[in-house]
């Protein structure tokens, strides 16, 4: 979850400062958020985490396109 939070913060920061390379971090963010969702599913009883990670991954995929 820490890696997910960190890449989300980094991706948002890259977009805020206007770096065109933000698409690279958004692509990585989508992958890491999906991995986090899978990890939370395995832990169990973390449906809020799973849902938020999947929503973030989808948003990042759109921004990376």
3-class SS at 21? Answer: coil
- The set of long-range contacts for 50-54, using a CB threshold of 8 Å and a minimum separation of 24, is 53/4
User: 13-23 pLDDT, tens per residue?
Assistant: 999 999 999 99
Whole-number pLDDT of residue 59 = 95
| Cα diameter, the chain | 38
Whole-number pLDDT of residue 14 = 95
User: 23-54 pLDDT, tens per residue?
Assistant: 999 999 999 999 999 999 999 999 999 999 99
* Plot region of 9 (φ>0 → left; ψ -120 to 50 → alpha; else → beta): alpha
Which tokens in the block code for residue 31? 């992958």
Whole-number pLDDT of residue 10 = 96
3-class SS at 6? Answer: helix
Whole-number pLDDT of residue 52 = 95
């Amino acid at each position: 979850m820490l890696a997910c939070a960190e890449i989300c913060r980094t991706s948002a920061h890259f977009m805020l400062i206007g770096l065109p390379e933000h698409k690279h971090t958004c692509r990585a963010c989508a992958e890491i958020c999906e991995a986090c969702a899978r990890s939370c599913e395995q832990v169990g009883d973390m449906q809020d985490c799973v849902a938020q990670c999947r929503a973030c991954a989808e948003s990042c995929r759109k921004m990376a396109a």
